[in-house]
């Protein structure tokens, strides 16, 4: 089986799992992305370990789970905002745990662990807040989330295709030699057209609002891709992992989401 076939099969299954969980229930989606976020945190820890930066593994995963869960419970209206105050304990606990690890770079380890939680866990937890909580049919309540992924996937696919065929001018060659301005503009057109088309079905937002959402996804998603490339280039790894055949790891697949989710979340919050 060649790489293209493997990549295609993995991609189709990947899309089915995400869309299926969205349509099933917001709890199914939240559970799936808890697993995804923790897997991404583990990948991050493994990458940095190669460079002798030791992200907290067990304690980090426990704190990341608490962090993710409190945000989701608050987003779903199960708990009040007071529950979020628990997360103020994350930094003190990381510092205390580091006292017993006998590392030569304790503060670097703590900083990396905190970065992993804020860069990976937080954005993926915020995705659950994209669900609407109205009396509308279930598929309409998930319109913002489905729209987010559709715009992102089609932008990414458009950028890859156009960049592969016509890419000549690099965006930041020292970080990502394959990412071109031609791909960016080609993908942007595809993403904006997608936003325009889905506005007819997902009527939670106006056409202009969907286009604004798409613009944030395109800009911040591109930066997300570049940031993950910066991580791999600075640590000397090709892929963040191998959990997704043909695609690499969780961070390789969700790099755009990690930077795009927070600004889109805040925009959606004020639009509703």
Residue pair 207/199 in contact (Cβ under 8 Å)? The answer is yes
Tens place of pLDDT for every residue, the chain, 272 residues?
A: 455 566 677 778 888 999 899 888 889 999 999 999 999 999 999 999 988 999 999 999 999 999 999 999 999 989 999 999 999 999 999 999 999 998 889 999 999 999 999 999 999 999 999 987 654 444 457 889 999 999 999 999 999 999 989 988 899 888 888 889 999 999 999 999 999 999 998 888 999 999 999 999 999 999 999 999 999 988 888 877 667 665 678 998 999 999 999 999 999 988 87
C-alpha–C-alpha distance, residues 77 and 132, integer Å: 11
Which pLDDT score is estimated for 99?
Answer: 94
Calculate the CA 70 to chain-centre distance: 18
Which pLDDT score is estimated for 15?
Answer: 85
CB-CB neighbours of 146 under 10 Å: 19
C-alpha–C-alpha distance, residues 223 and 259, integer Å: 7
pTM equals 0.91
Which pLDDT score is estimated for 9?
Answer: 75
Q: Which residue has the tokens 């309540």?
A: 141
The tens digit of pLDDT for each residue in 160-202 reads: 999 989 988 899 888 888 889 999 999 999 999 999 999 998 8
Rounded to the nearest 10°, the torsion over CA 101, 106, 109, 110 is: 100
């Amino acid at each position: 089986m060649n790489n293209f076939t493997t990549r295609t099969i993995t991609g189709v299954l990947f899309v089915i799992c995400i869309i299926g969980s969205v349509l099933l229930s917001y709890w199914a989606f939240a559970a799936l992305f808890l697993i995804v976020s923790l897997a991404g945190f583990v990948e991050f820890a493994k990458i940095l370990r190669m460079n002798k930066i030791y992200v907290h593994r067990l304690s980090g995963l426990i704190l990341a789970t608490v962090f993710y869960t409190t945000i989701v419970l608050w987003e779903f209206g199960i708990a009040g905002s007071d529950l979020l105050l628990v997360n103020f304990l994350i930094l003190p606990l990381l510092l205390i745990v580091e006292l017993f690890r006998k590392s030569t770079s304790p503060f670097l380890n703590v900083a990396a662990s905190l970065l992993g939680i804020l860069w990976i866990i937080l954005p993926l937890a915020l995705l659950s807040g994209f669900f609407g909580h109205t009396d509308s049919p279930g598929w309409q309540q998930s319109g913002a989330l489905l729209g987010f992924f559709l715009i992102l996937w089609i932008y990414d696919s458009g950028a890859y295709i156009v960049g592969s065929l016509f890419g000549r001018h690099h965006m930041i060659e020292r970080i990502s030699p394959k990412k071109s301005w031609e791909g960016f503009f080609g993908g942007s057109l595809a993403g904006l057209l997608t936003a325009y088309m889905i506005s007819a079905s997902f009527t939670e937002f106006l056409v202009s609002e969907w286009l604004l959402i798409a613009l944030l996804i395109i800009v911040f998603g591109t930066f997300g891709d570049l940031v993950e490339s910066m991580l791999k280039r600075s640590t000397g790894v090709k892929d963040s992992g191998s959990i997704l055949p043909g695609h690499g790891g969780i961070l390789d697949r969700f790099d755009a989401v990690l930077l795009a989710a927070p600004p889109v979340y805040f925009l959606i919050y004020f639009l509703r």
